[in-house]
Every structure is written in C-alpha cells, then in structure tokens.
Structure 1
C-alpha cells in the first residue's frame, strides 16, 4: 500500500499514526521534530519533507500491510513512480485547509490511469481554516466525481473536531454505488440492499477503481484513523498470488549500506525468493543470473533475515552488485514502465575534486536512474526542479564530504533528423585507419519511436560480436547529435559491412561507427526541439491580463480560456525551461490565488538559432580532433 500526497498534507504524520495504532512504535513521531520513523535521511529530518520512499511493514489484525511512504514534492516524482509500480492499493492524503493541490491532481490522475484502488483521507480537520462542503465540491470537480464520503465532521476547525461515520447502509453511499452497477441499482430500488450488501459492493467498486471512499480525520489527534484502518482492512484488495507460482518480483529502490554495499528493495508478486538461490534478472532485452547473498523481510517496523520470502512480501536484497531500479526478477512482469515524464532540466555541478564528484554522482544515479550524469569540460546532472539541487548538494556533503555549487538550470533539448543522409567508409581507403567497413543511412522516424535500428546487410556476413559492437556504439553515438543534444526518433539502417578475418577486432568497429554515423547525420541535418509542458492555470479574473503578459514573455501558447465573474481558467503549452520562473511570479500576479498544474506534453522545434551543448566524444566530424580524443581516452 502506498501513502501519497502533495507536500505538507500530513502523509508522513498519518504513517506515524498507523504505526502507532499497529503497536510498532510507542509514541507518534513529529515531522517538525525530525522524529518520524520513515524520514530517515538527515535532510528529510531537517527539511520536514520526504525525499526517498521508505518501506515499513506492520499488522492490522489479520492483515499484513507493507506500507510505502512516498515523497510529496513534485521534484521527487521519480520516487513516487517507482512506488506506484508495486502497489495493490493507495491512500491519497489531502489537507482540509489547503485542499486539492497541484501534486494531488497529478497523483490522482496517475492512480486512475493505473486503476489502483484508492482511499481518500482528508487530514487536519482540527486546524483553523479547515473546510468540508467546499472541499468536497473541489474533490469532485478537480480530483474525481466518484468520491464517496463515508462520514461527516463535527466542530470543524478546532481541537474538538470529530469524524462521525455514516450509519451502516446510509442512503447517500448506496445511491453513488447504484450509479455504476445496474444490478445493484435494481436491488436498491426494490429495497433489498442490506448494510453488508452495500459494504461488499463498495469493496468491489473500489477494487475495480470505479469509486474512491473518502474519510475525514486528523493524523495529529488520531481522530478518523480507526475508521481509515478499517477501510484499509476491509475495502482495499489483498494480494492473492501463490508462493507456489513461478517467481515474479520487481526492484523499486536501490540504496547503499554503511559499508557501501548495494541494498535492493523488491516487491514479490508471485512465487518464492530464496537466499543464495540463483535467480534470472531481466533488464530491457537482456537477462543474467544473480544470487542474493541475503534476503531480509520487512516486518513489524524493521527487517529480519529469512531463508525465503513469499508472494506479497517486500524484501531487501543484499549481494546483487549489478542490480538496478526497474530490474525484474524471475519471470518478467508487465508492471512498471514510464508513468511520469523524464526530467527535462539539467544543471552543471562544480566541486574542487572533479574525480570524486563524478564518482559520487554516479553512485547517486544508481539510486535514481533518472539522474543522468554527463561529463565533458563540466559535469552536469538532469533534474525535475530546483529543490533537487538542494537535495543533491546535501547528499554530496553528508555522504561524500563534497561542497558543491550549481550553475543556472537549463532545459534538456533533443535533436531529430530533418532529412535522409548516407555515409560509407571502406576498409583500406584513405581516411579509414581501422580494419572495418561500415555504411549507414539515417532518416526520420515517427515521434515516440526512439532509435529504430535496422539491418540491410546479411547477419551472417559479419561475426555476431562485431554486429553487437556496431549497434551498441551507434546507440551511444546518438547521445550527441550535431548540436550536442541526444538524437531521438531516428531510423538507422546498417547498409554496408566488411572485415578482415586475419586482423579485425570489435574495437575497429567501435571507433569507426561514430565517424560514419555522424557523417550520415550531418548530411541528413537535425532539428533541435525543446521540452514543453501542458499547463492548466486557475486564477482570479482580474489577474488574467498581467498573467497573459507574463505567459507571452515565457513563450507560452494559450490554447483555451474560460473567464466568468468568480474565476478564470487558462490552458496551453509552456516551454519546460520557463516553468520555474513563471511559477515563482504567479503568487504576486494573482494575489496568491493562482494554481498552476503542468504535465510534460512533448517537444517542439526551438525558434531562432539552435542552442548547443559541449561535446564529450571529441567530435567525430573532425577526424583530427576525434583521433586525439581516442588516443587520450586510451591513455587514460
């Protein structure tokens, strides 16, 4: 089960309350005091926010709950994504004061898209400014029209605020359920529905992600939490796979222990995972075998070492040196995949010790595969937003003793082929010092295709190891196009090959591929495209004019507008590189009432001159420079 929320809605406090109710802890920790069980990083305790997903297991009567506390800040959406891929159900937390926030909407959309059974918990009913009727209207308008309140609140907004559950068989609940099931509707109209029937139908519609029961309460006082616990026990579906099935597990988190060893957290969907027993590990199209040195089961607030763990469990695995987030164990699962957009921003990181900085960032990238580290004259990392800079700086300082600074954040662009280009280099010809013949044709591919690599040569005309070297190097080469950006949506046809049986080695092909491929790409030409987000903006009517002016400055395109006497809504596209600056201006332009929701939409051509990025490959289009780069690389 996952607990999800916009930052500061009280998600980690609710986790603490659940652990207290289950008897795992003897007092409820406070986020403000840095005493919570799941926020274990020093920075999490300092900032009072969750940065990395944390797992804790506990018992609720006859039910074992493996709970994943996820980050609430949008900059850490990659952590949320990995948690969502292993969930049976979720609790989405809202604040009764702040209500439906930007991240809440994004999370709800994703939960619905994945059909994850979800309970809604409106927290902070004891806080001044807490709302009920208005908040319910916002939930149904902005989150889900299928929210079903299972109770109401008395003395809202004060220390005596109390959640009052509706009586069993309440009419309002049955009416909402009847809207989605004609058979239940017929029985309801004939007055044949009992309280037990209603609860069974509620659980079934939740299992199918058709409705979302809604509870009110306070994580600080504990009010409403017993009713939520009963909902978790009786409404959310339980894992049903058998330990006797073939093993199917997924790695959703990788961290390093105090000794520097990798620890992988994995959800077992089916079968049994045993200590020191070889297991198939699947990553993309490759498979290898590994043997976990230790299996630790999450249990009663901690972990304990076990000989084997069964379906439904979450485990920490040690001794898997090559393991990465997203790896599938046993039989490959269809779960996972891209749920949110990859990061669209990057920044240069600087430190006195460049070698140590690069090694440290590489280790951080193991724990977060969406942190892509790039080294040329400078070292850069990919980002979702500005808060990630602070987190990376703190991690580098706390874990590696490195003081770092960052340059200004910039958008990550891509290049797409503009036309068709071919190139060919024959073994023994002038300008080809390697024992290899290669020919390529480069052409545009449909958007979303990525790299479509094809053969126009006989597969048996070249040793398989050479074919592997050619394809792998081609994909690596396309990480830097004519302007230094990664090339996407491209078809590569291998048109010519040749080798010397007496002297050719795979390295000959690895060195020649960038020269020929970049020559073909140069003849095709490329278009640089920038990442753009779709935006939805709610604001007061009197703020529309100044906001439209700032949107124009940000090169945003407004597609729809709806303005009435009370509020206005604008939608459109905005370049990813402009979002942060516009977002920081929004409170001043809208008297603090503007709400901006942005989601990655795609890429569009950059107007004006194409931006460039420094190369790290010695520029294969300049053979003298490229050969010098190869010699330096070989010497290093």
Structure 2
C-alpha cells in the first residue's frame, strides 16, 4: 500500500498501516509579494485546528547535536519546503540570519508553524551555544513540550544538561531523539543509560536501531517497539518514503521482544491503566498489549513528567525524522493538557488563568525581534482569550496602553498576516513600542486586570559576564549607534549597556565572547554603524563590606524650576546564605542579587512656605507614585558601584523617611534623590569588587588528573571540590537493572561499539572566570587532546586586595 501525503501528512496516519508511505513535497508554489512560497501555507491557515490538536514545542540540545538539521527535515516532510536545507551550505529555513549561515550555528531562536497528522505544530528551534542561553530560557517558558536531540556518539553533553534543567524548571514534558546513529562510535544503549545517570530522567525506549551488516554504508532502518515493525527509509526519495515491515524473526526481532517487554513493564510501574489492560485484555502477554494502548500510556506518563520516550535515527541521512513528528503528536501535551498559568496580582495573591478562548485576554510577550522592514516584532503566547488584529491592549508590566497594528504567523523569516491569535497559540504582534521580553498583556478595556496589575511570572534573565567598550567613529555616528543599541537591548535582555562615569565610554556587556562578537557583527553589518570596538573584558560586580546610613537632600534647579526631595538610605551586606524567599514574603524585593525595600509609609511634608500647597494637598503625587519613584531610584543606584561603576550585588537596601517639598517635589526628584543616596552610602560602606565564579566540570583520564588539578589550584586560583568517576560500578548496575537499554553491539551485526577503554574521571571545581579564558587550548596541551570541559556561572566570589588593585589599575589605567 502506498500513501502519498502531498499536503504534509495532514490526514494520513502512517503509524497505523503497513506498507510504503511517501511523505510528499508540496504540489506547487505561488508568488506572494514577489516571493515564492509554498501554497500549503495558505491552505494550512484556512484549516480549523482545535486547541486539543495544537502542539507548542521546542527543539533543545547541545550545540552541533543536529537541531536545525532535524527541523529542516520536519519542514520538508510536512510539505512546507520543496528542498531540504543544509547547515553547511547555509541555505536552511530556520537559520536565516547572515551570521548564522556564515558560522553554521543557530544564534536566534526561530519560530515556524506547520501541520502534521491533522495537528497544528508551533515549533521553535533554539540555539545550543551557552552564550545564547536566554533564547532557550524564554522559549521553554512558553512551550508545552520539547524534543531533546542527543548526539549518539557524544551522548549527553554539557549544554544538554543545561537546557534539560532549564526545561525542568518549567516542568516541560520531553521526548528524546538520539541522532547521528549512522556515525562510527554511535552507541544508543550507552546514550539511554546516560539519560538516566546524567539527566536523572526515566527513559522509555520506544525504538531501537535496525540491523546493519558490516558491508552496510550506514544506518538505514529502525525497529519500532510499539508497533513491532521495521521502518526502512528509501535513500533515493531522500527519506520521504518509508517501508514498514512486521518484525517476525531474527536477532532484531528477539531484541525487539525484550525491548517491548521492558517497555510494558516500565509503563506498568508508572501507569495503573496499563496494568488493567495487561491482565484483562492481553492475558498477561506483553506482546498482546495493543500499540494504541501503549501509546496512550506513554502519553500519560510523558505529560506527567515521570518518563521520557526515546527514539533514534540519523537526521542528516533522512532517517527517523517522521516518527519523531508522530511522537510529538502522540506523546507531547496540547495546551489543554498543561496546568493553568499562574498570575500574580498587586496585593500579592495568586490567580489561575484558565485556558478559554471565550475568556479575558491574558498573554505573555516572550521575545522581541527587530525586522528592518516591519519594525519590532513581539512574539506572544496567548494563555486565555483571543488577541484580535487592530485591537487596543494594555501592558500591565510597563503600565502602558498600545495599539496592535497587525498580527503575523511566522514561518522563520517569512510571515502570513492573520486576523487573531487564539488561546493556546503563539503569534507575533507588529507595532508595539514599549513591550519587552517578559511583559504581560491584557485587553485595553479589562479594568479589573489593569487595576490589579495582573502579571504572569517573568522570564529569568542571566547576568552578563563579559563587556567591551564601543566608540562612535564620529560625532554624527552617536545617534545611529544609540538607536541600534536600543533595538539590540530590546531584542536581547541578556545584553546590558551603561556609561562609565569617569571615562564617559559606552560599555556593552553580554554572556560570552561569541555573544559580544555577534553583537559587534550586527552593529557593523546589519545596522551599518561606524564604530570602534574595544578589547573584550570581564564584567565584574561590586558589593560593600560594611554598613552605612545616609540622609540625603536633593536640591537642584532644572530649566528654571527648583526641584527638591530628601530621603534616608540604610545599607548593609547581604549574607550569602540569606533566605531570599522569606525576605520577599516580608515585603522585600529581589533585584539582581540584592534585596530592596521602598517604604512610602514614612512620608513627611517639609514645605517651608506654608502658603504653598503641599504634595498631599494638591494630590500631585500619590502614594503609589512615591513608591514607584523610590523603587526606580533604588534600581538606578544599584546599577553602578563606587569603584568601577559595575552593578552592585549582595546588598540589603532600604529607603525610608521620604520628605516632600510641595510642588517642588516630583517623582523624578525622588528617584534622583534615592539614587544619589545609594551611591553615597556605598562609598561609605567599604566598597569591594567581586569576580564571576564558574562551576567547571573537566573529564579526563585517570593518568591526567594530577596535572589538571595542579593547574586548576595553582595558577588559575581554582578550588577543587570533588573528583568523580563517570559513575560507580554499583550505580551503573542499578541503572542497568532499572531501565532497558539495548546492547550497542546487538544492532550492528558484529560492528561493536565499545565504551571508552580507559576509565574517565570528572574533576569538579570552582574557578574565577578570568582564569578560564583560553582554557580549551591549555587543556588540550595538558591532556594530549583527550580532555573535555564545561562551565557555567554560579555567582560572584570575593577578591584579594592585591587582585582587586590589579583589576582597578587594568581597567582605569592608573
């Protein structure tokens, strides 16, 4: 039997039939505004997809695991593209930025919508490089499920663990796809065991690699343990045609029986429903449990987050991609299957946002992108209600009202205009000026939400650790550079820009060397700015070692008008072990590692001229405005320290005793007064520098431990905190007995994939970031190229006085 799914498999169901299935290419294309686009996009938009048949998913993984390669195949088999894009050729749909195509990596998370098996899939392809972790963070914040791609040769890598834990924080259900199984050294069983040992997840093996003899050119088939079929991909059709054959005999059948038995047993431990089916309908026979019942059970445990289905393939060879798309539909949740979103009101109470299209609009802006032709594109996830074109919305985060000019459905860099975005879906708003990443959007006439300042939980923004100076080539270039930086800052909240108070230089900080390199590249090439970039430097932090209480009077004449305000600031160091959650319950606010409190209770009127109306008499400043001004002043004051103007951290700051001077006092005067008072208090409280500290995991062989540890604890000023083997024999035995992982030699017909012959050890250490620059070259020299390492920022550590003086001299030049 042949099924030709030229519309991207919208109505076909290949998993339910046996024979040859062809996932076709679009039948024809049309021209839209001079562009050649797939006619399927227009057809797709006219289809009515219910929320239950919607999947919001992301592709997450370590760099070079094959995320974009897999996504390009998905788009081709779904009928969106005629030709499969190649990362090496620089013609992929998802990596459309010039910098991405030049480097062959994903920098910007790209969104696309397509149909598969009668379902709508909103997919986001995320970067794998640690410098662009904000892209993963804001994507998983709004996703309902994710596909984690693993390299079958490298196994679970460092950044895989990072993105996995990011998804853990938001309880995002996942499926795993072990890619690159066609390569020498690929080991499916070992990778499955690493999912258990390194990620702490319960893997459910639903596919195993098919048989492959020694003369084979590579992987060509996959055995499906759910349907007990052998899936073979036709090379001549670029994987579009799949031949399904029932498994009946041979070594692969025997291994599949063991795998299916283990799959049913694992499900029985996690899902009571399958136990009843096993005894009542299958008479205790693992092979008699129907594929449909197994799929339903896998779906339940996946959505609960108690297990992760594991599939395998080789995306570059066009093998195994369609079953991943089937698994997205079969196992990952729809928006209805996810818990209701939680919003916070201004009185501190929590409110559940039920997913109803007929409900009041509640949406989260999770990404802003700059388009040269269309302007700012704001990506939103609608949690309730319907966002209509040309409507008026209210941003409860910035307290501003805005107009929706147009709504778009994204197809990477291409777009289609749509009339609305319904609950549970992702889309793009054109025309918003003030909305940024993490802002909450409600309807412009929703008085209750506006009054209560209803806000969805924000997106965590990581702290930047590198910075560099930027100098305009001439005075005329200052304005274009300021405008370009403003757009970049709105796009990327992990970027920070500030001005050095002594040198007057504009400094820009980011997550890493590559991050700032991309920023530099975009400023010069995309925004056509003529500027000089300084040397890359580490972004330090500042704190205080003592306490201070400062009373400050702000009294200035601005544009012929006298402005006055006064306040008191109490500042003290914050203990590293301080319970932030308990302090926040007591009314403190967390701000970049500091606790701040803006008290508007102790407000007094100090008007000298009694005939002049006071602030309270003319109602020019409300209590809410005073509190917001104090909060703004505290945030501004903590953004620059007294030593090198780096942001402050580890401080507890309270502003009180606010004094007003009638009409002379404005919210701006209060904010400026508080900011200057914080600066004065910091200068009195023994300011000190802190440097970024990294948690470093280095994997080396046993004979290389001594030289690596000596280098870390010596010249690199590191502190070794532990030494572990990959896993102890006892733990490995427990892992092996708890989960099913096929022997890697069983699949290759005699071509054995051995584990590393030499036992490797993992050195865990805390090391200053300044000592880790250029470490990859040093580690190669120390380990003859065998060592690997990963690192992440864990906080900021104290410096010695000698080191502090050296840093100040290096940056200031004196």
- Shorter chain as denominator, the TM-score bin is 0.7 to 0.9
* C-alpha separation in 2, matches of 1:260 and 1:228: 34
1:617 alignment counterpart: none
Are 1:348 and 2:469 an aligned pair? yes
Would you say the 8 A contact 1:456–1:493 is kept in 2? Answer: no
Are 1:398 and 2:528 an aligned pair? no
* C-alpha separation in 2, matches of 1:86 and 1:502: 46
Residues 309 and 456 of structure 1: CA distance in aligned 2, closer, same or farther (over 3 Å): closer
Q: For residue 399 of structure 2, give the secondary structure of its aligned residue in structure 1.
A: strand
* C-alpha separation in 1, matches of 2:70 and 2:553: 67
1:479 alignment counterpart: 639
Give the alignment of 1:445-456 within 5 angstroms: 445-447=574-576, 449=590, 450-455=594-599
Would you say the 8 A contact 2:109–2:125 is kept in 1? Answer: yes
Range with greater deviation from structure 2 (412-421 or 115-124)? 412-421
Give the alignment of 1:298-309 within 5 angstroms: 298=410, 302-309=414-421
Are 1:232 and 2:328 an aligned pair? yes
Structure 2: where are the runs of 5+ without partners? 1-56, 229-259, 337-354, 443-448, 557-561, 581-589, 606-614, 616-620, 729-757, 810-814
Give the alignment of 1:439-518 within 5 angstroms: 439-447=568-576, 449=590, 450-455=594-599, 458-459=602-603, 461=605, 463-464=621-622, 465=625, 468-483=628-643, 484-501=645-662, 503-506=664-667, 508-518=669-679
Give the alignment of 1:539-550 within 5 angstroms: 539-550=700-711
Q: Deviations over 1:374-418 (max 9, x none)?
A: 223322222222112331122112212235554443332223333
Residues 312 and 468 of structure 1: CA distance in aligned 2, closer, same or farther (over 3 Å): closer
Are 1:209 and 2:305 an aligned pair? yes
Would you say the 8 A contact 1:452–1:489 is kept in 2? Answer: no
Are 1:191 and 2:248 an aligned pair? no
Give the alignment of 1:240-259 within 5 angstroms: 240=336, 241-259=355-373
Residues 142 and 496 of structure 1: CA distance in aligned 2, closer, same or farther (over 3 Å): closer
Q: For residue 525 of structure 2, give the secondary structure of its aligned residue in structure 1.
A: helix
The Cα of 1:204 is off from its aligned counterpart by 0.6
Are 1:161 and 2:220 an aligned pair? yes
Q: For residue 381 of structure 1, give the secondary structure of its aligned residue in structure 2.
A: strand
Range with greater deviation from structure 2 (210-219 or 402-411)? 402-411
Number of residue pairs matched?
609
Q: For residue 762 of structure 2, give the secondary structure of its aligned residue in structure 1.
A: strand
Residues 548 and 274 of structure 1: CA distance in aligned 2, closer, same or farther (over 3 Å): same
Would you say the 8 A contact 1:127–1:158 is kept in 2? Answer: no
Q: Deviations over 1:496-529 (max 9, x none)?
A: 3434336445555455444433333333333432
Would you say the 8 A contact 1:422–1:519 is kept in 2? Answer: no
Q: For residue 580 of structure 1, give the secondary structure of its aligned residue in structure 2.
A: coil
The Cα of 1:53 is off from its aligned counterpart by 0.7
* C-alpha separation in 1, matches of 2:144 and 2:664: 57
* C-alpha separation in 2, matches of 1:144 and 1:514: 46
Would you say the 8 A contact 2:604–2:660 is kept in 1? Answer: no
2:565 alignment counterpart: 436
* C-alpha separation in 1, matches of 2:530 and 2:781: 34
Residues 38 and 541 of structure 1: CA distance in aligned 2, closer, same or farther (over 3 Å): same
Q: For residue 226 of structure 1, give the secondary structure of its aligned residue in structure 2.
A: helix
Give the alignment of 1:69-218 within 5 angstroms: 69-153=125-209, 154-155=211-212, 158-168=217-227, 170-181=260-271, 184=274, 188=278, 191=284, 194-195=289-290, 196-218=292-314
Range with greater deviation from structure 2 (200-209 or 349-358)? 349-358
What is the TM-score of this pair, normalised by structure 2? 0.70
Would you say the 8 A contact 1:418–1:527 is kept in 2? Answer: yes
Range with greater deviation from structure 2 (351-360 or 238-247)? 351-360
* C-alpha separation in 2, matches of 1:187 and 1:318: 51
Residues 104 and 404 of structure 1: CA distance in aligned 2, closer, same or farther (over 3 Å): farther
The Cα of 1:319 is off from its aligned counterpart by 1.1
Q: For residue 600 of structure 1, give the secondary structure of its aligned residue in structure 2.
A: strand
Residues 122 and 525 of structure 1: CA distance in aligned 2, closer, same or farther (over 3 Å): same
Would you say the 8 A contact 1:451–1:490 is kept in 2? Answer: yes
Are 1:297 and 2:409 an aligned pair? yes
Would you say the 8 A contact 2:357–2:385 is kept in 1? Answer: yes
Q: Deviations over 1:126-162 (max 9, x none)?
A: 2333333333333332234412221221328834532
Give the alignment of 1:553-568 within 5 angstroms: 553-562=715-724, 566-568=759-761
Q: For residue 524 of structure 2, give the secondary structure of its aligned residue in structure 1.
A: helix
Q: Deviations over 1:244-292 (max 9, x none)?
A: 1222222122122224621111122221001122222132xx4322221
Give the alignment of 1:377-388 within 5 angstroms: 377-388=504-515
The Cα of 1:16 is off from its aligned counterpart by 0.8
* C-alpha separation in 1, matches of 2:219 and 2:672: 73
What is the TM-score of this pair, normalised by structure 1? 0.88
2:685 alignment counterpart: 524
The Cα of 1:42 is off from its aligned counterpart by 0.9
Would you say the 8 A contact 2:693–2:797 is kept in 1? Answer: yes
Range with greater deviation from structure 2 (26-35 or 479-488)? 479-488
The Cα of 1:361 is off from its aligned counterpart by 2.1
Aligned match of 1:589 in 772, 779, 782?
Answer: 782
2:34 alignment counterpart: none
Q: For residue 442 of structure 1, give the secondary structure of its aligned residue in structure 2.
A: strand
The Cα of 1:111 is off from its aligned counterpart by 2.0
Residues 505 and 302 of structure 1: CA distance in aligned 2, closer, same or farther (over 3 Å): closer
The Cα of 1:102 is off from its aligned counterpart by 1.4
The Cα of 1:486 is off from its aligned counterpart by 1.7
1:328 alignment counterpart: 440
Range with greater deviation from structure 2 (237-246 or 85-94)? 237-246
Q: For residue 220 of structure 1, give the secondary structure of its aligned residue in structure 2.
A: helix
Q: For residue 367 of structure 2, give the secondary structure of its aligned residue in structure 1.
A: strand
Q: Deviations over 1:86-128 (max 9, x none)?
A: 1111111122233322111211222233221111111222233
The Cα of 1:426 is off from its aligned counterpart by 5.5
* C-alpha separation in 1, matches of 2:328 and 2:656: 59
* C-alpha separation in 1, matches of 2:64 and 2:554: 64
Residues 566 and 221 of structure 1: CA distance in aligned 2, closer, same or farther (over 3 Å): closer
Are 1:319 and 2:440 an aligned pair? no
Would you say the 8 A contact 1:427–1:499 is kept in 2? Answer: no
Would you say the 8 A contact 1:295–1:305 is kept in 2? Answer: yes
Would you say the 8 A contact 2:541–2:691 is kept in 1? Answer: yes
Range with greater deviation from structure 2 (372-381 or 135-144)? 135-144
The Cα of 1:491 is off from its aligned counterpart by 3.2
Would you say the 8 A contact 2:603–2:657 is kept in 1? Answer: no
Q: Deviations over 1:65-91 (max 9, x none)?
A: 001011111111111111111111111
Q: For residue 71 of structure 1, give the secondary structure of its aligned residue in structure 2.
A: coil
Give the alignment of 1:352-431 within 5 angstroms: 352-353=473-474, 355=478, 356-376=480-500, 377-402=504-529, 406-425=533-552
Q: For residue 490 of structure 2, give the secondary structure of its aligned residue in structure 1.
A: helix
Would you say the 8 A contact 1:6–1:94 is kept in 2? Answer: yes
Are 1:265 and 2:361 an aligned pair? no
Residues 519 and 253 of structure 1: CA distance in aligned 2, closer, same or farther (over 3 Å): closer
